[in-house]
């Protein structure tokens, strides 16, 4: 059976990730303020196989957030006032509703678009074209969005300073971090800028982003009670991460790509939760 060129490239990429020796510098497959005010409030106590998400807009409770895994590095986050945020918004995977806010990173074109829908109210880039750090701290209705810049590898294997952002979403008394296309472990300053987290959305491919042990170090340093993997391309790659994660935390798989989050529902002990999709 003949596949369209873009699908063939995706299948090849998934195969490549399962093989030993694949290096982090390979190109990712493409389908065609340091002050306390900037920190998360610390409210807690203690493209491959794309599957479409059935979406039914349902009102959320005052302290609830709906999180839906769209695929790759894209999540849809919905606030009690139904403010909708899409992470690493791109041309290939889109949430089933128009977001109010989108965040992007630019390590590869599966993490951004040059033509966002004009109906989107806020488009936040995780990098600046002049190499300076992107700095965002905005509020809209019941949501606050800010970022902490990190570096990425460039195409020549060097370092592009401030080429990625960890975006932080404060909503319904929760702080959710999306690590973007993270390529390195975090400095003390970056950890201080991030602050205390409730949920972390982490790329776990172990090759194109941070290596597996490096990601373990990051997750242990962030100390979030709920960790959700993304950017894993295949079941083999995901399982490799989960086998390693089980040495530190409980691991569970959700039945659907969507979950409701609240402070009351956060696990008492740190947990990795897999949402269906790639």
pLDDT of 46-66, one tens digit each? 233 334 444 455 678 889 999
Which pLDDT does position 249 carry in this prediction? 98
What is the band of 45 on the pLDDT scale with cuts at 50, 70, 90? very low
Average pLDDT in the 158-178 region? 95
Q: Which two tokens stand for residue 184?
A: 């390195």
Query: How much is the pLDDT for 225?
Result: 98
Average pLDDT over residues 195-222: 97
pLDDT: which is higher, 19 or 2: 2
pLDDT at position 56 = 52
Q: How far is residue 146's CA from residue 258's CA, in Å, rounded to a whole number?
A: 23
CA dist., res. 30 & res. 72, Å (int):
11
Determine the average pLDDT of the residues in 60-89: 95
Whole-prediction pTM value?
0.81
In 3D space, the residue among 256, 252, 178, 170 whose CA is nearest the CA of residue 218 turns out to be: 178
Q: Is the dihedral of CA 44, 55, 31, 126 positive or negative?
A: negative
Q: What is the pLDDT of residues 104-127, one digit of tens each?
A: 999 889 999 999 999 999 999 999
Question: Can you give the residue ranges of every domain in the chain?
Answer: 63-274
> In this structure, which CATH number among 3.40.190.10, 3.60.15.10, 3.40.1380.10, 1.10.3720.10 belongs to the domain 63-274?
3.60.15.10
- Report whether pLDDT(21) > 60: no
C-alpha distances in Å from residue 94, one per residue of 47, 108, 213, 230: 11, 16, 31, 15
Q: How far apart are CA 103 and CA 216, in angstroms?
A: 24
Place of tokens 């839906």: 68
Range 37-44 average pLDDT: 40
Looking at the chain, the whole-number percentage of residues with pLDDT higher than 70 is 79
């Amino acid at each position: 059976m003949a596949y369209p060129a873009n699908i063939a490239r995706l299948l090849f990429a998934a195969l490549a990730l399962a093989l030993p020796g694949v290096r982090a510098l390979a190109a990712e497959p493409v389908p065609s303020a340091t002050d306390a005010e900037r920190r998360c409030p610390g409210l807690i106590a203690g493209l491959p196989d794309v599957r479409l998400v059935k979406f039914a807009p349902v009102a959320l409770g005052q302290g609830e957030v709906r999180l839906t895994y769209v695929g790759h590095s894209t999540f849809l986050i919905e606030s009690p006032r139904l403010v909708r945020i899409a992470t690493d918004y791109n041309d290939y995977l889109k949430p089933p509703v128009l977001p109010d806010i989108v965040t992007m990173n630019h390590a590869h074109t599966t993490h951004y678009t040059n033509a966002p829908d004009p109906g989107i109210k806020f488009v936040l880039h995780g990098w600046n074209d002049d190499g300076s750090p992107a700095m965002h701290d905005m509020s809209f209705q019941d949501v606050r969005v800010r970022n902490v810049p990190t570096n990425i590898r460039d195409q020549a294997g060097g370092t592009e300073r401030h080429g990625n952002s960890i975006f932080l979403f404060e909503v319904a008394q929760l702080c959710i971090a999306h690590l973007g296309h993270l390529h390195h472990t975090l400095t003390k300053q970056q950890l201080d800028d991030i602050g205390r987290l409730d949920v972390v959305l982490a790329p776990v491919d172990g090759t194109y982003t941070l290596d597996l042990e490096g990601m373990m170090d990051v997750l242990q340093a962030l100390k979030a009670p709920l960790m959700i993997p993304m950017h894993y391309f295949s079941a083999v790659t995901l399982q490799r991460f989960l086998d390693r994660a089980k040495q530190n935390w409980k691991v569970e798989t959700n039945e659907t790509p969507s979950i409701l989050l609240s402070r009351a529902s956060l696990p008492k002990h740190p947990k990795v939760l897999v949402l269906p999709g790639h």
